[in-house]
Structure 1
Amino acid sequence: MRHLLKILIVAVLVFILSACNFLEYEVGNLKEELAGRTMLIQSYDEDSQLIDRIQGESISVNADRKFAIKDSEGNTVEKSSVLNITVGGKQMLHVGSSLLAFESGLSNLFEEYSQKVDIKNFDRSVPFLNRLVNDLQNATVGKSKIVLIRSQSGQPLATFAGDDVSYFATDIDKSTALLIDGKFLLIYRCDYTIYDTELLQ
């Protein structure tokens, strides 16, 4: 019981004293709404072959809310999966194929390396406590992680890695947002796995 109390106290202190990745994520979203981000947008077919590539400044990626399904009271029942993208004030709509949008300075390691993952970890742990600590770290300081991304048919597509990685839900259906060492990444309609770096060592 004392061990559990110590872990909870440490977790709370980490949450209070650490720089908050959630706040950084929200500030980044506000910046995107006001000025946009300098980003690279790439879409892929089922075989992870590049369809198009757009790079620019003042880019904003949002759900086109006209396509969200709402009930009679106006509550969202199903989020929109249509992306409304602006690039320097010009509009682009996208739906269906896998898409990555990531800030300048973030490198897709898959373009340089291709590797398969084989995990053999037999360490005993307390799953509830691990989840609690991992969730707190995700919201505050992040964690060293590797992100392997695949197309919808399971073909390897991209790999990102960072020392300070956190992930977030978005208002876009079938998408996940990440902060990787302070840089934004949007994963849309892709399969992915996020590993603690230590798990692969």
Structure 2
Amino acid sequence: MKKKRLMAVMVFWVIFLSGCQDIKMWFKDFEESFKGLEMVIQTYDEQSQLIDQITGKSILIERDSTFDTDAETKDSSVIQITIGTKEMHHVGSSMIIAEKGLENIFDDYAQTVDAQTIQRGVPVINSLVNDFKNSFVGKEKVVLIRSQNGTPLATYGGNNVSLYKTDVPKSTGLLIDGQYLFVYRCDYTIYDLALLE
């Protein structure tokens, strides 16, 4: 009887955690560190014109700590990207690094967004619910990305989207339907899909 109960509890936790976005992100970080991710790196100028594009099968993104002001501050904005056995450094211009399989749906959402909602809610409770969803299941979202001067450059969307901090200043990591998106020095707005429908 105890074995069955223990087995039931273990099955519950495996199912629960397998759906948890935070756990998926932890495994994505682990995979990036030890295997690398197959990704496309793109940098853009202020007018959202593509400067360069690099595709790699084993990519690791990290802050280059050599440029930190001191060991405690961790303020370097220089990105060190390992691509297979090669590396590149980047700072300054807008950069999007998308895991292979993420589709830029820019043309679907190229128009200006004008969203309105008259639905009432309790802000503090809504905030708690949204934070919980970000950690566990994600939400249906659309990510509109612009260059630093506000020129639109890319759009991504998914059913299970969660946002994460990275160790690189002025960057954001997103988990979109199990795939990783890294956004550096870009303006962006992330909408619940329901706001745009």
| Paired position in structure 1 for 2:20 | 20
Q: Which amino acid aligns with 1:75?
A: E
The 1:127/1:113 distance shift into structure 2, 3 A limit, reads closer
Q: TM-score, normalised on structure 2?
A: 0.89
| Paired position in structure 2 for 1:75 | 72
Q: 1:189 aligns with which of 169, 177, 185?
A: 185
Matches within 5 A, 1:28-107: 28-70=28-70, 74-76=71-73, 78-107=74-103
Q: Deviations over 1:152-192 (max 9, x none)?
A: 00000100000000000000010000000000000000000
SS in 1 for 2:31: helix
Give the drift of 1:86: 1.0
Q: Aligned partners of 1:26, 1:58: CA distance in 2, in Å? A: 17
Q: Aligned partners of 1:50, 1:30: CA distance in 2, in Å? A: 30
Q: Aligned partners of 2:97, 2:118: CA distance in 1, in Å? A: 36
SS in 2 for 1:121: coil
| Paired position in structure 2 for 1:110 | 106
Q: Deviations over 1:111-139 (max 9, x none)?
A: 56522111111221111000000000000
For structure 2, the 5+ residue unaligned runs are: 1-14
31-40 or 61-70, which moves further after superposition?
61-70
Q: Aligned partners of 1:144, 1:187: CA distance in 2, in Å? A: 19
Instruction: Give the fraction of aligned pairs with identical amino acids, expressed as a percent.
Output: 51
What's the RMSD between the two structures over aligned residues?
Answer: 1.4
Give the drift of 1:17: 3.9
SS in 2 for 1:69: coil
Give the drift of 1:63: 0.5
The 1:91/1:162 distance shift into structure 2, 3 A limit, reads same
SS in 2 for 1:162: strand
Q: Aligned partners of 1:58, 1:174: CA distance in 2, in Å? A: 23
Q: TM-score, normalised on structure 1?
A: 0.87
Q: Aligned partners of 1:113, 1:164: CA distance in 2, in Å? A: 18
Moved over 3 A (4+): none
Aligned residues: 182
Q: Aligned partners of 2:51, 2:108: CA distance in 1, in Å? A: 19
Give the drift of 1:79: 2.2
Q: Aligned partners of 1:124, 1:62: CA distance in 2, in Å? A: 41
* Alignment pair present for 1:126 and 2:122: yes
Q: Aligned partners of 2:109, 2:163: CA distance in 1, in Å? A: 23
For structure 1, the 5+ residue unaligned runs are: 1-15
